[in-house]
Amino acid sequence: MSDTDIRVLIVDDQMMVREGFSVLLNAMPGITVVGEAVDGRQALAQVAALRPDVVLMDIRMPEMNGIEATREIVARDADAKVLVLTTFDLDEYVYQALRAGASGFLLKDASARQLADGVRVVASGEALLAPTVTRRLITEFSKLCLL
């Protein structure tokens, strides 16, 4: 790990998912996974201890879900960067994640390159949405503008 690597914390209740993302991201230049958490409560402790640049957050987890954890992480540090990564392509999850302060939203079917690019985009201070989500948000926004 170099001093300029993006430090990532992976939060997911499934060990195989955490380990898979860790292997994928550690293989990418400029990204280092510094820790893992199995739920939102553990994520809060890990964020405080490890100070990651990006938190890769699942939504559906026991104890404390990813939306609640994202809200708390951002409340504690307004500059925190959370990239929500979920299997569930539901508009309500997108809206909840964004309202909670997430910097990005990707689906778990993203490629390794898309995931790494997403981490880099969010780490740089920009926002990111999965392409399918972006299309639906634009459609919903344009409907609102017509009212």
C-alpha–C-alpha distance, residues 35 and 125, integer Å: 21
Does a structural domain hold residue 67?
A: yes
Burial 31-60 (b: 16+ CB within 10 A, else e): bbbbbbbbbbbbbbebbeeeebbbbbbbbe
Does a structural domain hold residue 1?
A: no
- Domain count of the fold of the chain: 1
Which residue is it, tokens 């195989």?
16
Give the other-Cβ count within 10 Å of 96's Cβ.
19
Q: pLDDT 10s digit of each residue in the chain, 147 long?
A: 667 899 999 999 999 999 999 999 999 999 999 999 999 999 999 999 999 999 999 999 988 999 999 999 999 998 999 999 987 666 777 888 989 999 999 988 888 899 999 999 999 999 998 877 766 666 766 676 665
**Sheet with 31-37: strands ordered across:** 31-37, 6-11, 54-57, 82-86, 104-107, 128-129
Does a structural domain hold residue 17?
A: yes
Does a structural domain hold residue 61?
A: yes
Does a structural domain hold residue 97?
A: yes
Residue-level pLDDT at 137: 67
CATH label of the domain that carries residue 25: 3.40.50.2300
Residue 56 lies in domain: 6-146
